[in-house]
Amino acid sequence: MARYFLEVKYDGTAFHGSQLQGKLPTVQLAINRSLSTLLRKEVISFGASRTDEGVHALCNYYHFDLDEPLHPAFLYKLNAILPPALSVNRMFQTNDPDFNARFAATNRRYRYRIYAKKDPFLLHRALYFPYRLDTALLHETAAIIKEYTDFETFSKRNSQTRTFKCTIFQSYWEEHEHELHYVVEANRFLRGMVRGLVGTQLKVARSQCDTVAFRNIIEARDCTKADFSVAGHGLYLEDIAYPEGSLIEVKDSR
C-alpha cells in the first residue's frame, strides 16, 4: 500500500469550504469523487488544512492510499476530471505509511489581500476596504502578535481543539501596488484565526481601539472580543511545509 500526496490549488468561492459536509460541494468531496472515478473504486482523501467557504488555496495537500500502480498519465487524467475551480499542482509519495498530510506538516502560511480602490477584477479575489488605515499601527500589531502563543481569542467557538497554543514564525504587512497584504506563518492555525487576526488589526488601524486594547483582546482569551467579520475571499492558504526529504515527487511518465 502506497501513500500519495496531492498538492492542490482552488478558487474557494466555488466551494462550501474544504472539508466534507455531506453532499455540499467541497474541495475534499471533489477530490474523493474524482479519485474514485479515475481509479474505479472508492477512495477517501485526508486534508492538511481546513479552509472556510470562500477561502482560496495556492497550496493545500490531501493524502490518499493506493495498492496498485499509477496510470502513466495519472495527473493529467485527474486534472481532466476535477472541476474547473480545482487543480493538482504536483503529486508526491512518502515512504512512511503513517505520514499524515495534516499532522506531519511543520508550518503553514496564509496571506490576506486588501484593496482600497474599487476594481472589478479583484472582486472575490481580495477584500474591498475603502477606509483610511494607519499602516504604522498595522506593522505594530503584526509584531505584537509574534509575542504571544495562546490565541484562544482568535478561535471560533465549537472548534473542537485541545489546545489554543500556536507558534507564530512570521507576522507582517506588506504593500503591493494598490493592495495591502497581511502574511502570517505558524506551526498551526485555529478555526477562523487568520480572519480574526486581520479583522481585529484593522480595527486598530482605523482608530477604533489602540495597541494596548489590542493586547488586552489577545490576553482576554475571549472570542467575542475579536473581529471575524472580514470576508473569506480575501484569504489565501499560500504554503504548507513538511520535513525535508519526506516527500518524493511523482510525475506523469507520458
Contact, 172 vs 183, CB < 8 A?
yes
> Would you tell me how many other CB atoms lie within 10 Å of the CB of residue 166?
20
Residues annotated as catalytic are 52
Say which residues have a Cβ less than 8 Å from residue 176's Cβ, sequence separation at least 6.
Answer: none
Question: pTM score, two decimals?
Answer: 0.94
Say how many residues make up the chain.
Answer: 254
CA distance linking residue 219 with residue 150, whole number of Å: 8
> Would you tell me how many other CB atoms lie within 10 Å of the CB of residue 143?
13
Q: Which residues pair with 33 in a beta bridge?
A: none
Q: In the chain, what is the straight-line distance between the N-terminal and C-terminal CA atoms, in Å?
A: 23
Sketch out the chain's domains with CATH numbers: 2-104 (3.30.70.580), 107-238 (3.30.70.660)
CA distance linking residue 86 with residue 8, whole number of Å: 7
Closest CA to 150 of 219, 211, 223: 219
Q: Is 98 helix (H, G, I), strand (E, B) or coil?
A: coil
Q: For each of the chain's 254 residues, which pLDDT tens digit applies?
A: 899 999 999 999 999 999 999 889 999 999 999 999 999 999 999 999 999 999 999 999 999 999 999 999 999 999 999 999 999 999 999 989 899 999 999 999 999 999 999 999 999 999 999 999 999 999 999 999 999 999 999 998 766 678 999 999 999 999 988 999 999 999 999 999 999 999 999 999 999 999 999 999 999 999 999 999 999 999 999 999 999 999 999 999 87
